[in-house]
Amino acid sequence: MHSSSGYGNGYHHQHQQHADKHFGPSLRDRARRGTRRGSGARSRDSRDGHGPSGGATVGLRVCEQQRPPTDFDMAYFHSYAHVGIHEEMIKDRVRTETYRAAIMQHQSSIAGKVVVDVGCGTGILSIFCAQAGAKRVYAVDASEIAVQANEVVKANNLSDTVIVLHGRVEDVQIDEEVDVIISEWMGYMLLYESMLGSVITARDRWLKPGGLILPSNATLYMAPITHSDRYSESIDFWRNVYGIDMSAMLPLAKQCAFEEPCVETITGENVLTWPQVVKHLDCYTISIHELETVTTRYKFKSMMRAPLHGFAFWFDVEFSGPALSPTNNHTPSSHVDDNPLNGSQRKKRANPNEALVLSTAPEDPPTHWQQTLIYFYDPMEVEQDQLIEGSVTLSQSKENARFMNIHLEYASGGRSFVKELVMR
């Protein structure tokens, strides 16, 4: 999980994983069980909140809301009150152990300092920071899981260090600047659920110049893929069902299987080319406005002859120190990154060769994020060295900013197509 350079290429060879035999559910199926990523943070000035029984929960602070949350926000926060979501995330050892390793790697920047944990969930990252010697940790979460987080903190005798704030980060009142912001904000396809905005809000409200943000930057990648087994399992199955021709089911089967992005695990054998960067996010400088729309053009050259079934998206995040500059004034970065892997176009990082990286690439150990797949309704045959080009635009839904609209244009071999999807 250590990168050999300051910035990974999104495709790592040091680990091999096996394909997940179960084809992952769509985002809609997962939504029925609750969303994946943690809540944006909030809190009140009062010292006591209320536990599930209605009694006072000592030590928990609950905040007055500056603006009423939307129904979508309330549903999102409510989904994170369920223990199963937190269990899934904590049991992801790649995720959890990388965060703990990053905290210990930056212990000199955390010990004796003030930390904010945005979307703290059960409070595990806050406790890791306390164990690393933090002077004070504000653990912030809008979900009712904050009640349990407060109990976890008390059970570990850390109430003097970890202060649990039940509320949105937009509402929380913290009467001091902070030295460190930590958050596990990444959603499927990196940007789904739009929680990075809460981290940016916390940064702009409280982070000291030169403060530390973990993770410090993130990169979203894409690559064309071939996946005949998946297509056969979901589509070709209908051509002959116990000797019966059910081909009439094919249009509906394609729509149901591939109408929405799918969260699945693939391997490097499914990937037809080297990946391309969709977007690099510098958490020290990016603005909330930049997250509204991300667009890039791509051009791939297939490394083999194979059916092209769609595109895979994955991400990595890096745990680096702050930019080496006189002040960290959170200047917004550019919308366009023509060569995102060229480090000369970014501010130099401290010890870039030692940066810890959490990767969700197909060739790395599997995580609960897996990869996000956008399948075509019909595969395209491509030859070795054949070009595959087009553009992709990711934009926050006007209906609900936590949803993501995807506009994909692709062309190859003289044929061109457009596919539009929504991650709900």
**Catalytic positions, written as ranges:** 184, 193
What burial letters (b/e) apply to 117-130, b meaning 16+ CB within 10 Å? bbbbbbbbbbbbbb
Task: Return the bridge partners of 418, or none.
Answer: 409
- CA 233/CA 263 separation, integer angstroms: 16
Asked if 359 contacts 371 with a C-beta cutoff of 8 angstroms, the reply is no
Count of CB atoms situated within 10 Å of the CB of 336:
8
Count of CB atoms situated within 10 Å of the CB of 386:
17
Count of CB atoms situated within 10 Å of the CB of 368:
16
- Sequence-distant (≥ 6) Cβ neighbours of residue 331 within 8 angstroms: 285
Q: What is the residue type of 220?
A: L
Q: Pairing relation of β-strands 306-319 and 276-282?
A: unpaired
Identify the residue whose tokens are 């797949």.
Answer: 373
> Smallest Cα–Cα separation from 75: which of 142, 147, 121, 132?
142
- CA 82/CA 423 separation, integer angstroms: 21
Q: How many CA atoms lie within 13 A of 53 on its CB side?
A: 3
> Smallest Cα–Cα separation from 140: which of 106, 110, 163, 107?
163
Asked if 181 contacts 101 with a C-beta cutoff of 8 angstroms, the reply is no
Asked if 308 contacts 388 with a C-beta cutoff of 8 angstroms, the reply is yes
Question: Can you point out the beta strands (E) in 226-332?
Answer: 262-264, 276-282, 293-301, 306-319
